[in-house]
Amino acid sequence: MDLSRFPRRRYTPFATPIEPMPRFSAALAATCPGGEGPDVWIKRDDMLGLFPGGNKTRKLEFLVADALAQGADTLITCGAPQSNHCRITLAAAAREGLKCQFVIEERVPGSYNPRASGNHFMFRLMGVERIMVVPAGADIGAAMEQLAADLVAQGRRGYVIPGGGSNAVGGLGYVACAQEMQEQWFEMGLRFDRILVGSGSSGTHGGLVAGFVGNRIDIPIVGVGVSRDPEQQEPLVMKEAQAVADLLGLGLQVPRDAVRSVGGYWQPKYSVPNVRMIEAVQMLARTEGIPLDPVYTGKIMAGLIGLARAGEFSPGERVLFVHTGGLPSLHAYEGVVLGEGEAVAP
């Protein structure tokens, strides 16, 4: 597939590493039936540009290029408190000399603290222009359009980026990732049996699905839901994957069986810590020295661990975990992830 016809800003001058995790794999196997488990590797998208990077960086390469092509002077986006997407969008704006405004949805009442550490510190440090805070369930799209209308009244031009950067343009970032991985596997002489990725606003999961289908990569992708169970999540991923495929002009229907997700690891609510997330964050940090974040990657890794313990992977099956970043938010949950704060059973 030819991505060169789409405008793109490059924020990462290298392919993110694919690394084995032998100590983690051994520790996991010791807790699996028969003492055997999968051979787990990691795709280090936490090392993407717009430091500290994450999956949103790939999407923003295409979204920001589109904003610049349209003459925008301000990026407008949305997220929950401690949003990694908002932080990386702000970093892209700073890189490009643009302003940036947020709509923050307080999904858990009382969770927004403008003086918090983690990503909130980064918001202040990088100079976010405006933050509109709305309650859970508010019309986020309408709130972002209001910010855009306010800019028009000032003689400015905003560019609205959906939550997570998840639309067809943003999804191109993970089509590019699929192509990058395909080349890496060839050069490294690797073959993976399964890819495991987070599934939230659906841009990463859906973009990868479109990239795999378009490039004829016959490896199953499993999305671990971070805010929904499969019956709600999979239709969103299908819609995103099809939108990306249509934008690329692939002329095909994305197969329904190309989209698979698992649930049960994100409860009780999005961004609320649970004991399996804490175990996952501690386990990877103490075996491989790699941090995960409590909102996304910690719960995604908890899903991988849970699937392995349930016998969903064959012994020695090679599984690639896509690390989508999120390090700054970890600092806002220090006590919890060290086992000193409150968490709940999932």
Integer Cα distance of 198 and 299 in angstroms: 9
Compute the half-sphere exposure of residue 107: CA atoms within 13 Å on the CB side of its CA. Answer: 14
Q: Is 118 left (phi over 0), alpha (psi -120 to 50) or beta?
A: left
What are the Cα distances from residue 163, in Å, to 36, 249, 260? 39, 24, 21
Cβ proximity of 166 and 244 under 8 Å: no
Q: What sign results for the dihedral spanned by CA atoms 291, 128, 51, 204?
A: positive
Of 343, 260, 261, 258, nearest to 298 by C-alpha is 343
What's the alpha-carbon Rg for the chain, to the nearest Å?
19
271 among known catalytic residues: no
Of 66, 47, 56, nearest to 7 by C-alpha is 66
Integer Cα distance of 196 and 45 in angstroms: 13
Task: For residue 273, say if its preceding peptide bond is cis, omega within 30 degrees of 0.
Answer: no
Among 4, 25, 83, 202, the active-site one is 83
Cβ proximity of 293 and 52 under 8 Å: no
Q: Quick check: helix, strand or coil at residue 16?
A: coil
Cβ proximity of 273 and 341 under 8 Å: yes
Listed in sequence order, the residues at least 6 apart from 137 whose beta carbon sits closer than 8 Å to its beta carbon are none
Cβ proximity of 142 and 148 under 8 Å: no
Identity at 178, one-letter amino acid code: A
DSSP conformation letters of 179-198 = HHHHHHHHHHT---SEEEEE
Known catalytic residues? Answer: 83
